[in-house]
Structure 1
Amino acid sequence: MKANNKKIFRLIKLQIVLLLLLVSAVTYYYASGYAAQVSELKSEATSLVKKSTEDTFRQIETSEVYDANGNTISVLKGEKDVYYITYDQIPQNAVKALVSIEDKKFFEHNGIDYKGIARALYTMLKDKEITQGGSTITQQLARTIFLSNEKTWQRKVEEIYIASELEKKYSKEQILEFYLNNVYFANGYYGIEAAAKGYFSKDISELTLSEVCYLLAIPNSPTYYDPVVNPENTITRRNTILSSMLKDKVISEATYTSAVNEEIVLTRPDSIKNNYVETYAYYCATRALMKANGFEFKTEFDSDEEEEAYNRAYDEAYNQWNTTLFTSGYRIYTSIDLNMQNELQAAIDSHLEDFTDVNEDGIYTVQSAGVCIDNETGMTKAIVGGRSQDVTGYTLNRAYQSFRQPGSSIKPLIVYTPAIEMGYTPDSKVMDVKTADGPENATGTYSGEITLRQAVAQSKNTVAWQLYSEVTPQKGIQYLKNLGFSHIEDDDYGMAACLGGLTVGVSPLEMAKGYATIQNDGYMREPDCILQITDSEGEVLYEAQEEEVQVYEENAARTMTDMLQSVVAEGTARGIDLGEMPAAGKTGTTNDNRDGWFVGYTRYYTTSIWVGSDQPKKIAGLTGSSYPAKIWEEYMNTIHEGLLPAEFKKPVEYIGTEEQQDEVETEEEGESEEEPYGVFDEENPGETPQEPNTYKIITETFDGTEVPEGAIPDGATDIEITTTTEEVEDQVE
């Protein structure tokens, strides 16, 4: 009896505690203002749905992209009005697949899956942030049409209310119709019919179950499941959808087996929107919008967890803002020059026209990519991601989406310019000899003691290896990270990196940026192509601001340019001829002639050229000085027509006392950047400079009537001496 009384008493106590907690929660809910906010969100949701009509789900606003001369590059519209289809035109396989993978209880709930919300709420409380949703198809439609992808509790509450109101106003069939016509399928395709035409050149009604599931894999994460860039990821999710349908018993085992084994072949229409310049412009515009809305880009992380979290946030933000390109009516103004773009494409196509072999997808096996940067602004003028070809749908932009081994073209970035900062000069003596643990030279020959200039010009692997051991891989790779190279791995911190042995590699865009940094006195600028983005009414949403980050010391960069001129004049690229236009550059060739590079610049432009295969293999006759250099030469000659020869800025070479150094620096402040500088060597005044006009005017004032011994270099000419017997306290120049 006493035991029963105790149980009853504990039960009463528990009920009282729960009641107090409930009262406290309700009190806090109203007192803190949440009730008012929720009420306002509900009213807004009700109003939005009440005002909606079927036409609400067919709206779109076209965006336009322009080149540097005001020419239209492309018109971005999502195509959902052109290809809108009604529910009775949607295959039932598509409906079954969508419901199975996204919202199994779609035909049972009233727009809200409370268990799903509970799961999302639990995760939010556990992780202190919203990391997953419990969204139904109706909620996803509400978010797509009426809301943003912002993850806040207010947006989630309003989404729930909108979904509830949508279910009251529209039928389940209408909601599915609206959803499948508005969801984003990557590459500018909105709606499943637009996606069917865009990826398969068919109507949705003509697709197989496997093809339908392949398309429905995309909207979950349009970047990650992009069929053009990440087809393997798309196949994986297609198989997940088919497996879900099998578990839900909406398809048979035999149907599942047949569909999962079906090969997917994209057959995109001839009028492809995403050619190389457009692809890059969309990429840059998306990132510009991300930046304008507060996203902070990173390339270095303290842990794998931090990097994974960043990548998730990046993908989410990229998907969100990339989607708006096709719906928000932007006017996007770029630095791209379509004339220069066409010339770069033509140079690549003409020099590789004899390579006619194609892979199983009909794509040329020997490929190329190139990037041209305006050295005045640091902006991209042209970007080609592959050879022109009469095939449909292949738009991989190798210029910024592919990463390959750079060979010796990496040496100026991580070996030679850092070594100059450590005190090496073009005339420094280095040893070209084979060592037990070092590499061989490409020619198999060794020259013994040579100058650093000769080592650079002849691309001596042995010298690069020796210098890199002094620079250290840790410091050398840090230069690449400072340049913003995006695929630096832990295994790259080894000696092989100095010869281009990187785990993932570099892109032609990154190499162009690296060399443009050397040309720009060591200051790095991101080679973007977006000058300005406005809305359709002309309001500025984004405007490019020139931002420079110093990566190399100014004098080291100028000295590197001086030595790279020797590569073109007498080294591995000595066949290149730009007439009277001074040029600097470096060749690069990887093992077995798999990749060839030439990256070089004038005062006007920096251009990076890569030649190789998508699946690395030996290419007969390929070196950095063959096809890449010839493409570079033809293109650079064309775009420099009519431009006056422009000399590079000369390095400042100075050896002397601190007082004399201060005096020279004072003089330099008032002089033009174009002024050539020379040598004043107090330790060896008898040495005569090789270049004319290399001595600067030096003014010295002394007490008394005698000139101190050694004040005038032997061999100095045009000497004017003024003496005074008065003591001079201050010197003014």
Structure 2
Amino acid sequence: MELNASKYQQKLKKMGRRAIALSIILLILFCISLGVMWMIAKIQGAPPLSVPQTTILYNADKSLLEEMHHGQKRYWVPIENISPHVIQATISVEDQNFYNHHGFDPKRIAGAAVADLKAMAKVQGASTITQQYARNLFLEHDKTWIRKLREAWYTVRLETNYDKDHILEGYLNTIYYGHGVYGIEAASRYYFNKNASKLTRSEASILAGIPKGPSYYSPFNNLENAKERQKIILAAMQKEGFITQEEEKKAFAAKLSFHEIKEEEKKDIAPYFVDEVKKQVKEKLHLTNERELHGLRIYTTLNPKLQKLAEKKVEKTIDPDSSIQTGFIAMNPKTGAVKALIGGKDYEESPFNRATQAVRQPGSTMKVPLYYAAIEHGLTPSTLFKSEPTVFTFGKGTKETQYKPSNYHDYYANDNITLSQAIALSDNIYAVKTMQYIGVDQLVQTSREMGIKSNIKPVPSLALGTSPVRLSEMVNAYGMIENGGREIEPTFVTKVESYDGKVLYEAPKEHKQVLDEDAAYVTTHLMTGMFDERLNDYTTVTGNSINEKTTHIYGGKSGTTQTDSWMIGFSPSLVAGVWTGYDKDQTMDKVTERSYAKNIWVSFMEEAHKGKTVQAFSPSKGVVGVLVNPDNGKLATKDCPNTRLTYYVKGTEPTEYCDEHMEHTEEKKQEKQEKKEEDGFWKKVLPWA
């Protein structure tokens, strides 16, 4: 018997050793598994934030332009911008052991299981804040085992890659608070019209109770239910040691001032501009769809004052009963930043953007790239061409074509005029002669360098603007002339940030030199001629009708076709362009219709510069200004009745003096001498007279 007992004891010891060994092996395997899981979770990183975020667009002055909610109103805020009362209330009611567990709370799970067994139903939740945050990262809400396993893995990944504050921040920014409102910042604004950082203990305890049943515990739906839930939360906060009993009573008794929600129809601000912002952000960030715009902070170039001003001028100028449409764009010529944009009279009626999408014949506004190219290739403001009916021949041999342009109303000088006069009077014959001199291909190339990307056809009538372009392209080209030839493009966005403040895109601040700086300045000064009546000749300067309205120095050019009316011009700080016309190529037969573009432009520019110091255009270092007789382009003398300060690229300024008025001067001198002699004679004969 003793032998058997001894064998039995040895067998038990052997089994015990095996059990210990197996336990050690299992423990090692468990630790290895945990290590492997940790490494995989670390390698995979945090789970993607797939919840829709509110995208916020800001004006240039950082004021709010637009919010895009994508069905869920949510603003992400860092945890330091969340009231500590919210954090205390949330932890007390949702996960008292949050800072001590690693994503799962075994004690809580066991307690919930016991409660559910006793009630024979699911009566108590066991999810931690981390688990709930992991659940919020899914857009789908199907209750399958695969989903639950993925949520558990998300929980592991969250705990592995983030600290507790980061997880709590994510949870508070993704939880649903009812009425289409997600996240504590949106909830704070919606219920109390304040930022989450400003919430009181009483307000925080109300909001912390809503997620358990957003409809049932919403104070807007049932204040009594909300207060009952608040009482439970405040008691939990007192039990956890966050507040005293006195503070608990005071918070419950505090009067709540809820935000009065008014369901007013919100008028979209600058909707055409916002569309362009979306396009530019997608392009710069290489996004493929609207959903990828979620959660961005987009800083735009829009000046809200100038935008409202432009809208007011368009509304006031164009007959509301007319079906004439308009496109308008104002930019900073130094940077290309778009300050105001109108794509049509009514966005709801037609979202088609006539400032950036429509291609129309620019008419004489195309003469600005033409004359810049001419200056760059040797012509000067004093260059003389004859303004008379002319038949032009282009091409050679079988490809030879003839072209016979005409001036407005068939008015001609029938004599030589200067380039200064030609641009101011918008002489078509001079323009085509200039293009024939530099070559049509050169005009096409120069237009490309100025940012005109439309398909320009190298035809004889190109100098007169028969090849359609976009308004935004033309305004950009004029901006490059004003800024001395530095490359710009219409810019709608200065910076894009992710929801957590990471800079995703920033507009470049450097602009390379593309055009000749001196030729650009000479062209700029030439463009001031449309407002200078000293250049009047066989007809008046094209700015004559709006001259009386100008109080600042501008350079500009107008253009008119049978179906289009344009006005583009600039000051040293602002370039603006207006197009007006009918969408379906209906002709503009009334004088008032053809004057809309100029009147919108001048009224906008004048009010935009109201109260500002009058600025002249600063000459570049390689130009020289001299007084000339604008009728012949020669250096003026004291005898010339009409003179104008004109700028030239150094070395091309005129050297010959005007002698047209010297003959009259000699006659006057002779008359003066004869009168003096006659007075002397009578003084001798009649000394008393």
TM-score, scaled to structure 2? 0.53
Note if 1:499 corresponds to 2:464.
yes
Structure 1 residues 654, 337: closer, same or farther in 2, change over 3 A? closer
Note if 1:472 corresponds to 2:435.
no
Q: Is the 8 A contact 1:588 1:623 kept in 2?
A: no
Structure 1 residues 682, 385: closer, same or farther in 2, change over 3 A? closer
Larger radius of gyration: 2
Q: Deviations over 1:573-632 (max 9, x none)?
A: 123245441111001011x2x110000011111000000112111123358971101000
Instruction: Give the superposition deviation at 1:81.
Output: 8.2
What is the match of residue 78 of structure 1?
70
Return the alpha-carbon distance in structure 2 between the equivalents of residues 274 and 635 of structure 1: 16
Return the alpha-carbon distance in structure 2 between the equivalents of residues 683 and 535 of structure 1: 55
Q: Is the 8 A contact 1:513 1:524 kept in 2?
A: no
Note if 1:276 corresponds to 2:272.
yes
Instruction: Give the superposition deviation at 1:402.
Output: 1.5
Letter of the 1:394 partner, please give it: S
What is the match of residue 517 of structure 1?
480
Note if 1:380 corresponds to 2:349.
no
1:324 is aligned, of 267, 292, 309, to 292
Return the alpha-carbon distance in structure 1 between the equivalents of residues 469 and 611 of structure 2: 33
Letter of the 1:641 partner, please give it: K
Q: Deviations over 1:308-364 (max 9, x none)?
A: xxxxxxxxx5x24x5422x2x111111211110010111111100x2414xxxxxxx
TM-score, scaled to structure 1? 0.50
Q: Deviations over 1:654-674 (max 9, x none)?
A: 69xxxxxxxxxxxxxxxxxxx
Three-state SS of the structure 1 residue aligned to 2:544 is coil
Structure 1 residues 680, 477: closer, same or farther in 2, change over 3 A? closer
Return the alpha-carbon distance in structure 2 between the equivalents of residues 478 and 682 of structure 1: 24
Q: Deviations over 1:133-181 (max 9, x none)?
A: xxxxxxxxxxxx999xxxxxxxxxxxxxx9xx999958xxxxxxxxxxx
Identity %: 26
Three-state SS of the structure 1 residue aligned to 2:355 is helix
Structure 1 residues 167, 435: closer, same or farther in 2, change over 3 A? farther
Return the alpha-carbon distance in structure 2 between the equivalents of residues 559 and 540 of structure 1: 41
What is the match of residue 236 of structure 2?
none
Which consecutive residues of structure 1, in runs of 5 or more, have no partner in the other structure? 1-39, 83-144, 148-161, 171-193, 195-268, 291-316, 358-364, 656-675, 690-733
Q: Is the 8 A contact 1:597 1:623 kept in 2?
A: no
2:584 is aligned, of 615, 635, 638, to 615
Letter of the 2:276 partner, please give it: Y
Note if 1:428 corresponds to 2:398.
no
Return the alpha-carbon distance in structure 2 between the equivalents of residues 682 and 609 of structure 1: 34
Structure 1 residues 458, 62: closer, same or farther in 2, change over 3 A? same
Q: Deviations over 1:288-323 (max 9, x none)?
A: 323xxxxxxxxxxxxxxxxxxxxxxxxxx5x24x54
Q: Is the 8 A contact 1:596 1:622 kept in 2?
A: no
What is the match of residue 338 of structure 1?
304
Structure 1 residues 324, 602: closer, same or farther in 2, change over 3 A? same
Return the alpha-carbon distance in structure 2 between the equivalents of residues 615 and 517 of structure 1: 31
Return the alpha-carbon distance in structure 1 between the equivalents of residues 479 and 593 of structure 2: 19
Letter of the 2:566 partner, please give it: W
Q: Is the 8 A contact 2:56 2:64 kept in 1?
A: yes
Return the alpha-carbon distance in structure 1 between the equivalents of residues 519 and 605 of structure 2: 25
What is the match of residue 560 of structure 2?
589
Instruction: Give the superposition deviation at 1:396.
Output: 2.0
Q: Is the 8 A contact 2:487 2:514 kept in 1?
A: yes
Q: Deviations over 1:508-565 (max 9, x none)?
A: 2111101011101122211202111111222211111124243431121111111111
Higher relative contact order (CA 8 A, sep 6+): 2
Letter of the 1:423 partner, please give it: G
Q: CA RMSD in A?
A: 3.9
Structure 1 residues 341, 684: closer, same or farther in 2, change over 3 A? closer
Note if 1:573 corresponds to 2:573.
no
Q: How do residues 27-42 of structure 1 correspond to structure 2 at under 5 angstroms?
A: none
Q: Deviations over 1:221-261 (max 9, x none)?
A: xxxxxxxxxxxxxxxxxxxxxxxxxxxxxxxxxxxxxxxxx
Three-state SS of the structure 1 residue aligned to 2:589 is coil
Return the alpha-carbon distance in structure 1 between the equivalents of residues 515 and 296 of structure 2: 38
Letter of the 1:441 partner, please give it: N
2:362 is aligned, of 378, 391, 406, to 406
Three-state SS of the structure 2 residue aligned to 1:401 is coil
Return the alpha-carbon distance in structure 2 between the equivalents of residues 524 and 495 of structure 1: 28
Q: Is the 8 A contact 1:337 1:381 kept in 2?
A: yes
Q: Is the 8 A contact 2:518 2:649 kept in 1?
A: no
Three-state SS of the structure 2 residue aligned to 1:69 is coil
Structure 1 residues 430, 411: closer, same or farther in 2, change over 3 A? same
Return the alpha-carbon distance in structure 1 between the equivalents of residues 300 and 53 of structure 2: 20
Three-state SS of the structure 1 residue aligned to 2:410 is coil
Three-state SS of the structure 2 residue aligned to 1:586 is strand
Q: Is the 8 A contact 2:57 2:67 kept in 1?
A: yes
Three-state SS of the structure 2 residue aligned to 1:523 is coil
Letter of the 1:324 partner, please give it: E
Return the alpha-carbon distance in structure 1 between the equivalents of residues 498 and 45 of structure 2: 23
